[in-house]
Amino acid sequence: MNALESWLLSYLVNSLWQVPLLFLAAWIAARLARRHVALQHRIWVGALLLEVLLPACSLNPGATLHSLWQLALRGLGAPSAFGSTHVTVTTGAAYAHTMLHLPATLLTGIAIAYAACTIYFAARLIWRLSRTNTLRRAAQPIVPTGPLQTIWKQCSQAFELRNAQLASSSGIFSPITIGIRRKTILLPNGTLANLKIEDLTAAIAHEFAHMRRQDFAKNLLYRTLSLPIAWHPLLWLTQTRLTETREMVCDALAAEAACGRESYARSLLRLASALTRATPTPSLHAIGIFDACIFERRIMNLTEKQIEWKGARRLTAMAACALMAVGTCAFAMSLHMDVSASMLQTAGGKVAQQTPLHGGDSALPPVLIRSADPVYTEAARKAKLSGNVEISLRVDKKGNPSHIRVVRGMGMGLDQKAVEAVRQYKFKPATQNGKPVAVDLFVDVNFQIF
């Protein structure tokens, strides 16, 4: 299993449990901020970004950056002067339950399936963007005149947008917004003739709110960043919550710019009855007024008494959310897992000893707290030699490695480079009944040309 497969599987394994953890934390934070829709939306945006990024991070940022740099070099076809290193040890009886041994062929198969799944979701996103572009080209431009011109000017001034365009299409059932540089509002055919002026004002104001917030571009960014975990059901729920809160934020902006909250709420109900004759096609990447099926909640949010979050209340809520985010991230990163061909193990270096400690729960193995990358020799790099150097060592009571010797080597100077790297390791000592003890370990130092 190469380094890319190892990195992909590490990301996959961590996302399995970190995404639910982050979703739960975001749900609790959103409940605390349930009377402040804008803050709820920021919480769900932050949750989505953390769900994507956190599985790739650990408490050792240098190791994370090194892995990403090596993967980038490999993608550019550049040889690396470094190998990657991980601790692989003979498992003692006392700690056999902390390891999961899986064959390299199975891990490679999982990595291939995961990559194929990611490619599928990426292809589906590209297809939706293509369908949206086709719809835009087929739309018929509309030049605002009469009452429509008045509405358009009012919204343009309220949202400070001067370059928006208006068009109609037979391929949609409700108003939508598309475009990043050329922002366009698409209306279903017949909308201008069938809607009351106040309802048309509400619909256009809502879409202007989307354009003012750059929601089309943001949604495209979120969908693109989410591709590595697009398979995760809780990511779908996060995206749903993000969409719901986004629509409520735009409702508030549109109501303020148009005709007031109560009047806008009545228009929203009439629009729902008049325009949703069929379910909007899911094959488009677009932002619309009916993206979220939460009309009851949207109407309640518009009609209930608003509470101003100012001063101490606002700071307290933001501080509580920030504290929860930091705590959740720290907990998740502390349990970050790396995948190798022989085992799953914590990145913090939790290892088992060759000769098991005794004493049940009172015996704790050494923990790797600092490692070093082995350096390729020029001869090995030219020969593109890859493999493992197996080393035995003793971790003394101070956590320092000693009695280092090569058990299985590779030649071309790599054995000595592996020994030099292991000499720089630092461990938290093993303990027996609370007292530091020396233990023997086997370490695999992996050399991989990227």
pLDDT tens profile 77-124: 444 444 444 444 443 333 333 344 456 677 778 888 998 999 999 999
- Residue 234 included in any domain: yes
Taking residues 328-343, report their average pLDDT.
Answer: 67
Predicted confidence (pLDDT) at residue 68 exceeds the cutoff of 60 = no
**Which of 2-6, 159-163, 353-357 shows the lowest mean pLDDT across its residues?**
353-357
User: 212-250 in b/e burial notation, b at 16+ Cβ within 10 A?
Assistant: bbebbebbbebbeebbbbbbbebbebbbebbbbbbbbbb
- More reliable by pLDDT, 164 or 375: 164
Taking residues 344-359, report their average pLDDT.
Answer: 41
- Residue 332 included in any domain: no
The answer to whether residues 346 and 336 touch, using CB atoms and an 8 Å cutoff, is yes
**Residue in 110, 52, 89 with CA at minimum distance from that of residue 332:** 52
Taking the complete model, does pTM exceed 0.75, yes or no? no
- Residue 400 included in any domain: no
Predicted confidence (pLDDT) at residue 335 exceeds the cutoff of 90 = no
- Residue 313 included in any domain: no
Question: How many domains is the chain built from?
Answer: 1
- Residue 419 included in any domain: no
pLDDT number for residue 91: 34
Q: How many CA atoms lie within 13 A of 233 on its CB side?
A: 0
- Residue 369 included in any domain: no
Residue 212 pLDDT level (bands cut at 50, 70, 90): very high
- Residue 266 included in any domain: yes
pLDDT number for residue 347: 36
- Residue 194 included in any domain: yes
pLDDT number for residue 222: 95
Across 57-66, 79-88, 225-234, the highest mean pLDDT is recorded for 225-234
pLDDT number for residue 214: 93
Residues in contact with 433: Cβ distance below 8 Å, sequence separation at least 6, in sequence order: 359, 362, 363
pLDDT above 70 covers a percentage of the chain that reads 77
Residue 238 pLDDT level (bands cut at 50, 70, 90): very high
Across 202-211, 342-351, 439-448, the highest mean pLDDT is recorded for 202-211
The boundaries of the domain holding residue 262 are 121-294
pLDDT number for residue 92: 39
CA-to-CA distance for 215 and 207, rounded, in angstroms?
A: 10
- More reliable by pLDDT, 435 or 336: 435
Residue 93: strand, helix, or coil: helix
**Which of 2-6, 343-347, 406-410, 441-445 shows the lowest mean pLDDT across its residues?**
343-347
Predicted confidence (pLDDT) at residue 20 exceeds the cutoff of 70 = yes
**Residue in 418, 416, 425 with CA at minimum distance from that of residue 371:** 425
pLDDT number for residue 72: 57
CA-to-CA distance for 272 and 424, rounded, in angstroms?
A: 67
pLDDT number for residue 95: 38
Q: What are 287-307's pLDDT values in tens digits?
A: 877 776 777 778 777 777 656
**Which of 8-22, 50-64, 164-178, 255-269 shows the lowest mean pLDDT across its residues?**
50-64
Predicted confidence (pLDDT) at residue 283 exceeds the cutoff of 70 = no
